[in-house]
Amino acid sequence: MNIDMIRAAAQRLEGHARKTPLLSSPFLDEIAGRRLFVKPECLQHTGSFKFRGGWSALSAMDEATRQKGVLAFSSGNHAQGVAFAAQQHGVPAVIIMPADAPQLKIDNTRALGAEVVLYDRAKESREEIGARLEAERGLTLVKPYDEPQVIAGQGTCGLEIAQQAADLGISEAEVVVCCGGGGLTSGIALALEADAPGLKVRPAEPEGFDDVKRSLASGQIETNPAMSGNICDAILTPAAGDLTFPIMHRLCGPGIAVSEDECLHAMALAFLRLKLVVEPGGAAAMAAALFHGDELEGDTVIATISGGNVDPEMFTRALQSYAR
């Protein structure tokens, strides 16, 4: 896993993934107590950065392998990113989702051209179903984060941050990244190490699901006690990956844990001041930048917004609580 893989992914993504802008607002600078720039990956295809990793993985396969199709386990952003990348490549995608997933997510994934295979969480193993489909149909599994070409794809977001910061004359800043399994965080960290060494990555996680923060402190991979029970569903993962953690350990500053209310507040501020739709997990880094300034250093912070796939009910809750 190295910078050359990220640069190669950037070439493959050229003209396919969106280069998202860096946005700011004087109102947010005032709350943050320093200059705050936001990298809105909610504006990426399928509404999250996951399209970058999906496209990178698909485009890196040899033609014969790719033609047989790809497989992913997900009911969320990774599923949509892989499904759309496969559709754009003209190859099959099979997404394995729990039968009790929201109908809207099932419908959306199908509408992006994927075959959705539903399983019963209580009685079936998604891994067994996946292994059978891999064997029978020659599908290739695209893992959500612990996969070199996926990390390389997410790292292209970091190349853009490095370039955009340079264009603004920014050579030193903290870059706060919404962190689940660490694919985006480690990819951005590698890109910045090469292209903007004065920009340091800080992972942001939900309180109670701050395995990466604890892992960075202890020096080994720690786990979360649960996989649910927090509104930041997009970044709830059991633990960082075997590929992503060593990169984060080498390159990242201490993690920052944010509360659910801080995420809802950040969502409301993104609505008011940036005109962006952000999902709870996608608001974690912005929440850290806005409300944990005492854990940050320097006069400039850049916060990623990792996604915007939020239900109307949750979005309305954020507005009713904090858009005043």
Please report, as ranges, the residues that interact with its own copies according to CB under 8 A.
Answer: 18-21, 23, 26-27, 40, 42-43, 47, 84, 111-112, 268, 271, 274-278, 308, 312, 315-316, 319-320, 323
DSSP string, 228-247: -SSS-GGG--SB--TTHHHH
Considering the complex, what minimum distance in angstroms separates the CB of residue 312 from its own copies? 4
Nearest CB to its own copies, comparing residues 7 and 273: 273
Q: How far is CA 292 from CA 38, 98, 130, 295, 320, in A?
A: 16, 36, 41, 6, 23
Other Cβ atoms closer than 10 A to 312? 7
Nearest CB to its own copies, comparing residues 183 and 308: 308
Nearest CB to its own copies, comparing residues 171 and 320: 320
Nearest CB to its own copies, comparing residues 133 and 318: 318
Dihedral, 101, 107, 108, 111 alpha carbons, nearest 10: 150
The token duo for 181 is: 């399994």
Q: Residues 98, 75: contact at Cβ < 8 Å?
A: yes
Q: Residues 231, 280: contact at Cβ < 8 Å?
A: yes
Considering the complex, what minimum distance in angstroms separates the CB of residue 19 from its own copies? 8
Considering the complex, what minimum distance in angstroms separates the CB of residue 99 from its own copies? 21
Nearest CB to its own copies, comparing residues 174 and 233: 233
The token duo for 111 is: 């509408």
For 70-124, where are the alpha helices, taking DSSP H only?
77-89, 103-111
Considering the complex, what minimum distance in angstroms separates the CB of residue 80 from its own copies? 11
Query: Among 108, 97, 107, 257, which Cα is nearest to 176's?
Result: 257
Collapse the DSSP code of 48 into the 3-class scheme (helix H, G, I; strand E, B; otherwise coil) and give the result: strand
Q: DSSP character for 273?
A: I
Considering the complex, what minimum distance in angstroms separates the CB of residue 17 from its own copies? 12
Nearest CB to its own copies, comparing residues 255 and 307: 307
Return the amino acid letter for 217: A
Considering the complex, what minimum distance in angstroms separates the CB of residue 309 from its own copies? 8
Considering the complex, what minimum distance in angstroms separates the CB of residue 235 from its own copies? 17
Nearest CB to its own copies, comparing residues 179 and 310: 310
- Given the structure tokens 């992503």, which residue do they identify? 244
Considering the complex, what minimum distance in angstroms separates the CB of residue 270 from its own copies? 8
Q: Residues 286, 235: contact at Cβ < 8 Å?
A: no
Q: Residues 200, 174: contact at Cβ < 8 Å?
A: yes
Nearest CB to its own copies, comparing residues 46 and 215: 46
Query: Among 210, 215, 202, which Cα is nearest to 285's?
Result: 202
Nearest CB to its own copies, comparing residues 223 and 316: 316
Query: Among 118, 112, 67, which Cα is nearest to 85's?
Result: 112
- Alpha-carbon distance of 181 to 319, in angstroms, equals 28
Considering the complex, what minimum distance in angstroms separates the CB of residue 323 from its own copies? 4
